[in-house]
Amino acid sequence: MKSQTKAVVIGGGIAGCSALYHLTQEGWTDVVLVERDELTSGTTWHSAAQVTNFGMNQTMVGLKTHSINLYKELAEDPDYLITYHHADGGIRLANTEAQMEAYRHFVSMARGMDVHFEVIDAEECARRHPLISTDNLLGGLWDPLDGDIDPAQLCQALARRARKAGAEVYRNTPVTGLTQHKDDTWTVHTPKGDIDCEVVINAGGYRVNEVAEMMGVHHPVASMEHQYFVTEPIQGIVDAGHRMPLLRCPISDYYCRQERDGLLVGFYEQDCKTWGMDGIDPNFTNALCPDDLDRVTDVLEGAFARMPALMETGIHTIVNGPITYTIDGAPLVGPVPGKRNAFCIIGLRAGLGEGGGHGWLLAQQVVHGEACYDTWCLDPRRFTGHGNVELTALKAIEDYQNEFRFHFPQEHRPVGRPIKTTPLTPVLAAEGAEFTVVNGWERVDYIKPDPDFHPSLTFRFDEAFDVIAAEIANVAGNVGLTEVNGFNRFEISGTDARSFLDRMFCGRVTDKPGRVGLGYLLNHHGMIKSEATVANLPDGRIWYGSAAGAEGHDMDWLSQHVGAEEDVHIRSLTNEHTILVLAGPNSRDVLSKASRGDWSAGAFPWLSVRHAFIGIAPAVVMSVSFSGELAYEIHVPNNQLYAAYLALRAAGEEHGLQLFGARAVESMRMEKGYLHWKADLLTEFDPFETGLSRFVKMDKQEFIGKQALAARQNNGAQKKLVTLELESTDAPAHGGASVMVGGKVVGTVTSGDWGHRIGKNLAYAFIDPGLSDIGTKAEVDVLGDLVAASVITSGPYDPAYERVKG
Ligand SMILES: Cc1cc2nc3c(=O)[nH]c(=O)nc-3n(C[C@H](O)[C@H](O)[C@H](O)COP(=O)(O)OP(=O)(O)OC[C@H]3O[C@@H](n4cnc5c(N)ncnc54)[C@H](O)[C@@H]3O)c2cc1C
């Protein structure tokens, strides 16, 4: 066994084998995989191993496509043939129009990745799958490339190819400890000896947290028991003369695929069960949980009704095994939070289908620092401070119970809430607030007109449309107040803080005391990494503010780049402060009444920051605006937040100050041309492509990503972010929707919403640069309709910025 290597992958299921293989493909061939037992002896060996192209966003679709292409290539390798039923086709069923509409959105989104789904009606479903009845069925989503693969053969093939490229695989070699050294390298301890390496990768499956504990971390991953059975042969399948397509049913929560001449039917029962919460028997290997079909009778009935042939067929085998879930249903693939040179590929609940793609994106991150797609939806740093065992288990149960029921755009599922709150949360709830969830924080979405107001779940504009319109009208014409909690805030100090920040931002960010500036951080490839405001407090402190949710991500990025000799300290204040936003033409009057001092435009102009008291609560006030109206961000310590709130409410009384929420903000920011991190600001695009040239100073001596950006600049933009006006009034263009010209996909929508102040249906999209001129006509595929659209000037509301300056 080697005692020294570049990377050690821990675990030999699909995740580990794929990561190992892809590391060799990205150029790291001196790599090792250690497996405590035999390859695939965790979950992988008994997987139903369906391989679909269906994903919730373009990153997921893209990585699944990679899996499919790779598996096909492996299966066709004459040196090592694999059983892969490629392109049997699959149907996701629907019995409501809302589900059908969602499928139409997925067709539009996947088309941009050159993946072609089809929405079909109930009769066509039955024609393609002769065993199903059309009772209570509207139709479905057809995935032509759906199939299933032999999981053990797949892993062997990946390991075999990795070995050929130079990697080594050590079976029956449990990792018993991990030591990180001062230079951030690792020693992996096993009973057969130690291995020193630069990078470790946790691919431990349901034992993820045993491995995580060895590096002093915990991942929000929980296991659920999951069952399927395989039937005896079914005559209808033999008679059909072709393989049955796969089925996935959000109506009754089961899936089904052909297994030999019978069916394999898997269940997502409501009466579900977590597994291994209090530790896992060390001897549980190549093992199953006791079967318990009584638990699945509710969903079994639905499967029987859809496929009557099941009722006349005997059960051949039952499989019940652990399957891992995370807090939001997506895996954790990327850097381990708070650790250097440590990565994970864990929480895979559809790991056979996705594993090829996850290993690919992970290996790119390990070797190149970034993947070809923006991987934030998979990033392990996306849960900050709330990824605990209990919440993970509750969300795992909720997710399991809703396996095939996708989230609607405005849907925020109830379990595990509230988890992150401020003292204002119950106060705002009593005022009628409906909450959205941002990185675990309960944030006001809008104020309900009555307690029983529950808009329907839809991809179209919902019943809250007029409520949002009224909140915006009040902000634009008068004054509104909202709480923005969870906003990420670091205090950056030390004698080298200024030069450090100058290196981190691609533009010049103000260092004037009392001033606030916006800037962008790039990665080493010259692509957008983060967006942040820098506020130079009059007392000399520097506050770095970025998106809620960016805390772990930005902390990692900033602290990684502090030089050994530099005097720079970064302290998170995210959980200590909250922002109250006062917005609207009368906001200055309200602030002046609530706080002593001269708040006139001359004394406190746009982009200023100062200390103040709001009533009796100390605050840092910034004159910045995300709404496009005169506005103030009032940063208050949480323990005095309620006092500040009461002072503002009292001061606002004479103006009829009203509350507003995140949905109003979303609409207003689109009218202003402002961007959202990880919706519009992605690692797939550089700042020029994203329309941020004014924030880039190529004449700066140094900034991270400068060289790569210069090279990209020479090659010209691949895409350009534009604002589109859509000629429709009933639905927004959702992120991922395809922009078309002449029947060809020319771009992808990143955000869409109704602009209430200008009365336009707006969308942002990255499109071919040649089509980015103002006035260019295009179409956007919105829920299956090709909606006419044209490129308009970004930020159409108050382009002269008169209103924000007041
Ligand atoms: C019943 C069932 C049906 C499924 N059906 C599908 C499906 O149809 N399609 C699909 O895509 N997915 C499906 N899945 C999910 C899929 O099987 C899993 O997502 C996938 O197998 C997980 O692979 P993994 O490599 O992450 O974990 P595992 O396969 O569990 O591999 C982890 C490996 O790490 C090793 N290990 C752990 N600790 C150590 C240590 N300390 N040292 C060394 N090695 C260690 C383990 O021995 C194990 O081999 C199903 C799962 C179940 C249970």
Residue located nearest, by CA, to atom 38 of ligand 1:
204
- Which residue among 207, 247, 354 has the greatest number of ligand 1 atoms within 8 angstroms of its CB, and so is best to mutate? 207
- Across-strand partners of 598? none
pLDDT one-digit tens code per residue, 205-224: 999 999 999 999 999 999 99
Which pLDDT belongs to residue 490?
98
- Residue ranges in 564-679 assigned as alpha helix (H): 587-594, 641-652, 662-672
Locate tokens 């670091």: which residue? 490
Q: Which residues have C-beta within 8 Å of that of residue 316, sequence separation ≥ 6? A: 229, 230, 231, 232, 262
Ligand 1 center from residue 187 Cα (angstroms): 25
Ligand 1 center from residue 44 Cα (angstroms): 4
Residue located nearest, by CA, to atom 25 of ligand 1:
13
Work out which ligand 1 atom sits closest to the CA atom of 174: 42
Q: Which residues have C-beta within 8 Å of that of residue 333, sequence separation ≥ 6? A: 344, 345, 346, 358, 361, 362, 375, 378, 379, 380
Q: Does ligand 1 have an atom closer than 6 angstroms to the CB of 321?
A: yes
Work out which ligand 1 atom sits closest to the CA atom of 227: 1
Residue located nearest, by CA, to atom 10 of ligand 1:
350
Ligand 1 center from residue 43 Cα (angstroms): 3
Ligand 1 center from residue 223 Cα (angstroms): 11
Work out which ligand 1 atom sits closest to the CA atom of 285: 47
Task: Residue 146: count other Cβ atoms within 10 Å of its Cβ.
Answer: 27
- Which residue among 43, 149, 358 has the greatest number of ligand 1 atoms within 8 angstroms of its CB, and so is best to mutate? 43
Cis check: omega of the bond before 130, within 30 degrees of 0:
no
Distance (Å, whole) CA 241 – CA 618: 76
Residue located nearest, by CA, to atom 7 of ligand 1:
49
| Stated pTM of the model | 0.97
Ligand 1 center from residue 331 Cα (angstroms): 12
Asked if residue 539 has pLDDT above 90, the reply is yes
Which pLDDT belongs to residue 778?
98
Ligand 1 center from residue 348 Cα (angstroms): 8
**Residue 265 contacts residue 212 (beta carbons within 8 Å):** no
Q: Does ligand 1 have an atom closer than 6 angstroms to the CB of 323?
A: yes
Q: Does ligand 1 have an atom closer than 6 angstroms to the CB of 431?
A: no
Q: Does ligand 1 have an atom closer than 6 angstroms to the CB of 735?
A: no
Q: Does ligand 1 have an atom closer than 6 angstroms to the CB of 484?
A: no
Asked if residue 273 has pLDDT above 90, the reply is yes
Q: Which residues have C-beta within 8 Å of that of residue 93, sequence separation ≥ 6? A: 125, 137, 139, 140, 247, 248, 249, 250, 251, 306
Q: Does ligand 1 have an atom closer than 6 angstroms to the CB of 35?
A: yes
Work out which ligand 1 atom sits closest to the CA atom of 322: 53
Work out which ligand 1 atom sits closest to the CA atom of 175: 42
Ligand 1 center from residue 279 Cα (angstroms): 17
Ligand 1 center from residue 140 Cα (angstroms): 29
Pairing of strands 738-741, 631-637: unpaired
- Taken in order 589, 591, 592, 597, the sign of the CA dihedral is negative
pLDDT one-digit tens code per residue, 624-649: 999 999 999 999 999 999 999 999 99
- Which residue among 295, 323, 400 has the greatest number of ligand 1 atoms within 8 angstroms of its CB, and so is best to mutate? 323
Distance (Å, whole) CA 641 – CA 648: 11
Q: Does ligand 1 have an atom closer than 6 angstroms to the CB of 13?
A: yes
Q: Does ligand 1 have an atom closer than 6 angstroms to the CB of 734?
A: no
pLDDT one-digit tens code per residue, 541-594: 999 999 999 999 999 999 999 999 999 999 999 999 999 999 999 999 999 999
Distance (Å, whole) CA 368 – CA 615: 51
Q: Does ligand 1 have an atom closer than 6 angstroms to the CB of 16?
A: yes
Q: Does ligand 1 have an atom closer than 6 angstroms to the CB of 41?
A: yes
Write out 122-168 in H/E/C secondary structure.
HHHHHHHCCCCCCCCCCEEEEECCCEEECHHHHHHHHHHHHHHCCCE
Torsion angle, alpha carbons of 466, 468, 472, 478, to 10:
80
Ligand 1 center from residue 6 Cα (angstroms): 24
pLDDT one-digit tens code per residue, 693-751: 999 999 999 999 999 999 999 999 999 999 999 999 999 999 999 999 999 999 999 99
Residue located nearest, by CA, to atom 49 of ligand 1:
42
Q: Does ligand 1 have an atom closer than 6 angstroms to the CB of 49?
A: yes
Residue located nearest, by CA, to atom 34 of ligand 1:
11
Distance (Å, whole) CA 744 – CA 114: 11
Q: Which residues have C-beta within 8 Å of that of residue 511, sequence separation ≥ 6? A: 498, 536
Rg (CA), the chain: 27
Q: Which residues have C-beta within 8 Å of that of residue 127, sequence separation ≥ 6? A: none
Residue located nearest, by CA, to atom 17 of ligand 1:
47
Residue located nearest, by CA, to atom 41 of ligand 1:
175
- Which residue among 47, 215, 258 has the greatest number of ligand 1 atoms within 8 angstroms of its CB, and so is best to mutate? 47
Ligand 1 center from residue 561 Cα (angstroms): 35
Q: Does ligand 1 have an atom closer than 6 angstroms to the CB of 250?
A: no
Q: Per mean pLDDT, which range of 256-265, 293-302, 358-367, 427-436 is the poorest?
A: 293-302
Q: Does ligand 1 have an atom closer than 6 angstroms to the CB of 15?
A: yes
Ligand 1 center from residue 42 Cα (angstroms): 5
Distance (Å, whole) CA 63 – CA 140: 23
- Taken in order 360, 365, 366, 367, the sign of the CA dihedral is positive
Ligand 1 center from residue 759 Cα (angstroms): 51
Which pLDDT belongs to residue 88?
97
- Which residue among 44, 88, 286, 295 has the greatest number of ligand 1 atoms within 8 angstroms of its CB, and so is best to mutate? 44
Q: Does ligand 1 have an atom closer than 6 angstroms to the CB of 36?
A: yes
Report the candidate in 61, 389, 444 with the shortest Cα–Cα distance to residue 212.
389
Which pLDDT belongs to residue 283?
97
Mean local confidence (pLDDT), 431-454:
97
Q: Does ligand 1 have an atom closer than 6 angstroms to the CB of 204?
A: yes
Asked if residue 794 has pLDDT above 90, the reply is yes
Residue-by-residue DSSP string for 545-575: EE-TT-HHHHHHHHHHTS-TT---EEEE-TT
Q: Does ligand 1 have an atom closer than 6 angstroms to the CB of 11?
A: yes
pLDDT one-digit tens code per residue, 2-45: 999 999 999 999 999 999 999 999 999 999 999 999 999 999 99
pLDDT one-digit tens code per residue, 578-587: 999 999 999 9
Which pLDDT belongs to residue 206?
98
Residue located nearest, by CA, to atom 16 of ligand 1:
351
Ligand 1 center from residue 229 Cα (angstroms): 18
Q: Does ligand 1 have an atom closer than 6 angstroms to the CB of 353?
A: yes
Q: What average pLDDT does the structure give for the chain?
A: 97
Residue located nearest, by CA, to atom 4 of ligand 1:
47
pLDDT band of residue 172 (cuts 50, 70, 90) is very high
Which pLDDT belongs to residue 281?
98
Which pLDDT belongs to residue 806?
87
Report the candidate in 94, 117, 110 with the shortest Cα–Cα distance to residue 56.
110
pLDDT > 70: percent of the chain: 100
Residue located nearest, by CA, to atom 52 of ligand 1:
47
pLDDT one-digit tens code per residue, 462-508: 999 999 999 999 999 999 999 999 999 999 999 999 999 999 999 99
Ligand 1 center from residue 46 Cα (angstroms): 9
- Tell me if residue 320 falls in helix, strand or coil: strand
Asked if residue 406 has pLDDT above 90, the reply is no
Region of 681 please: left (phi>0), alpha (psi -120 to 50) or beta: beta
Q: Does ligand 1 have an atom closer than 6 angstroms to the CB of 205?
A: yes
